[in-house]
Amino acid sequence: MTIVIGAFSIHPLQQLIEILSMTPLPSLARRAFLGGVAVTLAAPIAACARTPGLKAIAVYKTPTCACCDGWVRHLRDARFDVGVTVTTDLRALRTNHGMPETLASCHSALVDGYFIEGHVPADDIRRLIAQRPDAVGLSVPGMPLGSPGMETPGGDRDRYDTLLVLRDGTTRVFTRHNA
């Protein structure tokens, strides 16, 4: 909003500053008031800047896999912006991105330059992105019960590891689950 006075236009904040500078307040009081105004105006902007946005992740799944849909829901619940591509050839996708076939599962994903294979929990993906290791990505081989998308009505849970897949194809444990 701009206020026009005669031939001059004045932004409201600028107008407030000009009015205060003409007010016979002690210099220290005027500075404290202006500092308070600045903080009040800057706080909402700073809060918005710290609000994390949705992280985009591209999921690739086969057309008949119900557990993949459960994993996609898990990612969306964890505030990922999920795009889904249905494909019949996950093997070529894994090969093209350096994920060993021995670590295969029923769906794959790409996020922030990393390849994700299987029922990897969203928290592990966020940690991977935050730590940025020199790696291909993460894998939860197979379909362990209790992993995201593999929940059971009875609450059965297998022990499983999220593996960090290094560029040479070797792995190390990134996170242990249900231990």
Are residue 167 and residue 100 in the same domain, yes or no? yes
- Residue 37 is part of which domain span? 3-50
Are residue 86 and residue 170 in the same domain, yes or no? yes
Are residue 18 and residue 68 in the same domain, yes or no? no
pLDDT digits (tens, 9 = 90+) for 87-106: 999 999 999 999 999 999 98
Lowest mean pLDDT among 26-30, 81-85, 105-109: 26-30
Q: Is 15 exposed, middle or buried (0-12, 13-18, 19+ CB in 10 A)?
A: middle
Are residue 27 and residue 90 in the same domain, yes or no? no
Are residue 24 and residue 40 in the same domain, yes or no? yes
Q: Is the pLDDT of residue 2 over 60?
A: no
Q: What is the pLDDT of residue 77?
A: 96
Are residue 44 and residue 68 in the same domain, yes or no? no
Q: What is the pLDDT of residue 64?
A: 86
Q: Is the pLDDT of residue 28 over 80?
A: no
Confidence of residue 111 (pLDDT cuts 50, 70, 90): very high
Rounded-to-integer distance, Cα 116 and Cα 107, Å: 9
More confident call, 38 vs 127: 127
Are residue 141 and residue 160 in the same domain, yes or no? yes
Are residue 63 and residue 120 in the same domain, yes or no? yes
Cβ contacts of 35 within 8 Å, gap of 6 or more: none
Terminal CA-CA length for the chain? 59
pLDDT digits (tens, 9 = 90+) for 33-83: 444 444 444 434 333 333 356 899 999 998 888 889 999 999 999 999 999
Q: What is the pLDDT of residue 45?
A: 39
Are residue 29 and residue 63 in the same domain, yes or no? no
Domain boundary residue, one of 13, 31, 50:
50
Radius of gyration of the chain (CA): 26
Are residue 34 and residue 64 in the same domain, yes or no? no
More confident call, 10 vs 177: 177
Rounded-to-integer distance, Cα 49 and Cα 168, Å: 38
CATH number at residue 114: 3.40.30
Are residue 78 and residue 160 in the same domain, yes or no? yes
Domain tally, the chain: 2
- Could you give the residue ranges of the DSSP H alpha helices within the chain? 12-22, 27-50, 66-77, 90-96, 122-131
Are residue 62 and residue 9 in the same domain, yes or no? no
Q: What is the pLDDT of residue 27?
A: 54
